[in-house]
Structure 1
Amino acid sequence: MKLMTSKYSEPSISIALLLLRVIAGSSMLMNHGLKKIMNFNAMLSKGFADPFHIGTKASLSLTIFAEFFCAGLIVIGLLTRLASIPLIIAMVVALFFAHGGELFGEGEAAGLF
């Protein structure tokens, strides 16, 4: 039975990695980055988290850079390893600072990303 075999082919691994990269990157880009770009002034006036004490505008700008531009680079497959570093930092900060480390509560999306 070919379905129960543990052998794999290189094209199937490549397609699976492509789908994972495109789905995760576009999900981050559309659900998080685009919302922050569209509501930039509203988020600043409401008060955005400033964990590194560089100012709320700079923190929001760096978060937008990570969630929109770096996610876009991951979707198109350009500098994926380098572009994933700001995303990892942004999601760790979101999980532990903004959501209080609740992995199975409010911070579930940050933990999954």
Structure 2
Amino acid sequence: MKNKFNDLALAILRVGFSGMLLTHGVPKIKILLENPGGFSDPLGVGNTVSLILALIGEVVAPIFIILGLKTRIAAIPAIGTMAVAAFIVHAQDSFGTKEKALLYLIGFIVIALVGAGKYSVDKK
């Protein structure tokens, strides 16, 4: 049964998770412009490619998700980026260190599963 607050809750989830992830992604734009070779390469595809993939997952995708534009598809790069962060970049770290990436991962999985809700560009 659909609760009258479900769409509001989805909007809060989308904007909250995506807005917070942007705080991690936006500083990477400066790295791309100044020293992309200094970015880590956890997938072995090259530093610059890894950085661009991170920017797609942490900047481009969250902007689409905030707007509610192609939300389910946009959540996929965010999910991938957070999975890499949790299970590759922080694989040897303590749970406390990888916890943030795991929380983002769970949030974006939920967004991918349920979609944007009524308060989104997709529903207009």
TM-score normalised to structure 1 length: 0.80
% identical aligned pairs: 37
Deviations 1:41-76 (A, max 9, x none): 56635x322232211001101110111000100000
Correspondent of 1:17 among 1, 10, 35: 10
Instruction: Indicate the SS of the match to 1:49.
Output: coil
Give the SS at the match of 2:57: helix
Aligned ranges 1:66-105 → 2 under 5 Å: 66-100=57-91, 102=93, 104-105=95-96
The alignment's C-alpha RMSD in Å is 2.0
Q: Which amino acid aligns with 1:33?
A: G
TM-score when normalising by structure 2: 0.73
Quote the Cα distance in structure 2 between the aligned partners of 1:88 and 1:109: 13
Give the partner amino acid of 2:67. I
Q: What's the CA shift for 1:40?
A: 2.8
1:62-97 alpha-carbon deviations (Å, 9 max, x no partner) = 110111000100000001100111111110101111
- Larger-Rg structure: 1
CA displacement at 1:98 relative to structure 2: 1.1
5+ long unaligned stretches in structure 2? 105-124
Q: Which has the higher contact order (CA 8 A, sep 6+)?
A: 2
Residue 58 of structure 1 corresponds to 49
Kindly indicate whether the alpha-carbon contact (under 8 Å) linking 1:21 and 1:75 is maintained by their aligned counterparts in 2.
yes
